[in-house]
Amino acid sequence: MQGTVASVEVAEGDEVHAGQTVVVLESMKMEHLVAADEAGRVTAVAAVVGETVHPGEVLVSVDVSGTSSRPSPGNRPENVARGARADLGDVLAAHQVGLDEQRPEAVERRHGRGQRTARENVGDLVDDGTFVEYGPLAVAMQRRRRDPDDLARSTPADGLVGGVGRIDGRPAVVMSYDYTVLAGTQGWQNHRKKDRLFELAERQQLPVVLFAEGGGGRPGDVDAPGVTGLDCMAFALFAELSGLVPLVGITSGYCFAGNAALLGCCDVVIATEGSSIGMGGPAMIEGGGLGVVPPREVGPYDVQWANGVIDIGVADEAGAVDAARRYLSYFGPQSDAGWTCADQAALRDLIPENRVRVYDVRSVIDALCDVDSVLELRRGFGAGMVTALARVEGRPLGIVANDPMHLGGAIDADAADKAARFMQLCDAFDLPLLFLCDTPGFMVGPEIERQAQVRHVSRMFVTGANVSVPVGTIVLRKGYGLGAQAMAGGSFKAPLFCVSWPTGEFGGMGLEGAVRLGFRKELDAIADEAEREALFQQMVARSYEVGKGLNVASHFEIDDVIDPADSRAWITSAFGAWTPPPRSGKKRPNIDTW
């Protein structure tokens, strides 16, 4: 928040405990206490009493590390046994040079910024003892500028830690740019390492997790052949993996240029709150004559969260690793055992009887699915649509739901883009799709048409009609017009099932609009305003009775009106018998990055 520093409660060097107030801010005549999240030692105090501060500013820096760096991934002996052969000794010593424990200054700087090293992140993600690193002895192509020992110490692994390991027992390619090595720039050798690992991912159909942090090309690699490096294959090879294997991108800190391009190719982008993501960093911006811009102002987290670049937002890298592991769990081998769910009778009361009262659709999703199984994607973008991965009876599926708290559930351009792209993701990796429909239709009006609404919302029709996974639709309340058809793959007869809860109401368009449009002459013929309004309400009430779920089901336009508590039975009946057909390649050419 913006506020004025009312008091500073600590000084540099002080020890603080978790929850201790360090600064008091005054904003809008109210005092706000800023407290330490963890115990530690105050290393700097930037707050000054009386000064106005703004969102994102650092007030107090607290060192909470207090422990040595995490063990590096892999099984490497700490010391060479006495009497070991000289050649083995040389190999073991060479592998030690680039490890975190041999680079304490770099590790300390990293921890001082509240971040972990590349090796710590990789070690946290992969199962213990399973990581095999490719190219750990590579160094920057700068032998004409620097001696070999300097390169080994300063550019270990050429700034890219990458290899193959297991994540919850499943093999995966994992790689992390190392910001402590030449600011995470992309050098000649680490491009070649990426090529190698991307080819392995394609040949063995392994998921890829990429920690992307740093800038783009590295002009200092004077030993590299060629002129521009534009013939490198890394970007093409990585993009070819789209739709073949899950691609997970994680970023923390500054992610620009080449790193951002790789991140943008991923199926899901996981970002920490302090990250900045941009196709061009400050150097490129200044070089283009566009001014001097601090890196934190180039694609900051709040911007990229709101515009849909970030799929999952987390507080720190530990949270990012947890999110990546959880995301991948929906795409690996599944077990029907061990699941629990809420009392399904609770679903009966989640939609208000008052048909114009909003409700929290996320509470419906949570109650409907297995406990703690819902992972929402792109929550900051396309507020009118919820897209989430979830499980029912242990089996994964994708959920697309209208949110009546935004525009009454009307589908605008952002919501349609979000839904269509999520449908592609689920189809590519054989996840059934469940639509939870509560929409008055597509959003209309002059303003929305300026956003190319016609093209954007039509993506839902084109995508929905061409997915090969099972689809089901449950109408929670409103099922009106083209928007409702889009929430059912294009037609109420397109899904394997289309059922309604008792609160369901249907029509070719919104009831009020339909009455005004269809009975305009009758209404205009009544001069008395009160009498005209009474007739209008009467017609709306009659239309509602005609469009109630029970009446629509009696005409077999939907499959049934059900007790909400029976919803899981419909889902498991339709989806449970389906087994994805075996395949060795892609179902779709790629997953749209947007």
| pLDDT range class, residue 68, cuts 50, 70, 90 | very low
Q: Which residue has the higher pLDDT, 544 or 486?
A: 486
Question: What are the pLDDT digits (tens) for 298-331?
Answer: 999 999 999 999 999 999 999 999 999 999 999 9
| pLDDT range class, residue 195, cuts 50, 70, 90 | very high
CATH 3.90.226.10 at 344-504+548-575, yes or no: yes
* Residue 50, Ramachandran bin (φ over 0: left; ψ between -120 and 50: alpha; else beta): left
The CATH class given to the 3-63 domain equals: mainly beta
User: How far does Cα 112 stand from its chain's mean position?
Assistant: 27
- Percentage with pLDDT > 90 across the chain: 75
Q: Which two tokens stand for residue 593?
A: 């990055």
| pLDDT range class, residue 254, cuts 50, 70, 90 | very high
**Range 377-404 average pLDDT:** 97
d(CA 275, CA 313): 10
Least confident interval from 11-15, 68-72, 473-477, 557-561? 68-72
d(CA 205, CA 537): 60
| pLDDT range class, residue 66, cuts 50, 70, 90 | low
Give the contacts of 584 (CB within 8 A, at least 6 positions apart): 205
Q: Is 477 exposed, middle or buried (0-12, 13-18, 19+ CB in 10 A)?
A: buried
Question: Are domains 98-329 and 344-504+548-575 of this chain identical in fold?
Answer: yes
What is the average pLDDT value for the chain, to the nearest integer?
Answer: 91
Give the contacts of 402 (CB within 8 A, at least 6 positions apart): 361, 384, 385, 386, 409, 411, 415, 436, 437, 438, 439, 487
Q: Where are the domains of the chain?
A: 3-63, 98-329, 344-504+548-575
What is the reported pLDDT for 226? 79
Q: Which two tokens stand for residue 226?
A: 């060629």
- Percentage with pLDDT > 70 across the chain: 96
| pLDDT range class, residue 230, cuts 50, 70, 90 | confident
Question: What are the pLDDT digits (tens) for 72-111?
Answer: 344 444 444 456 689 999 999 999 998 999 999 999 999 9
Name the CATH code of domain 98-329 (choices 3.40.50.720, 1.20.1440.60, 3.40.250.10, 3.90.226.10): 3.90.226.10
Question: What are the pLDDT digits (tens) for 442-474?
Answer: 998 999 999 999 999 999 999 999 999 999 999
Question: DSSP assignment of 88-118, as one string?
Answer: HHHHHHHHHHTSGGG-HHHHHHHHHTT---H
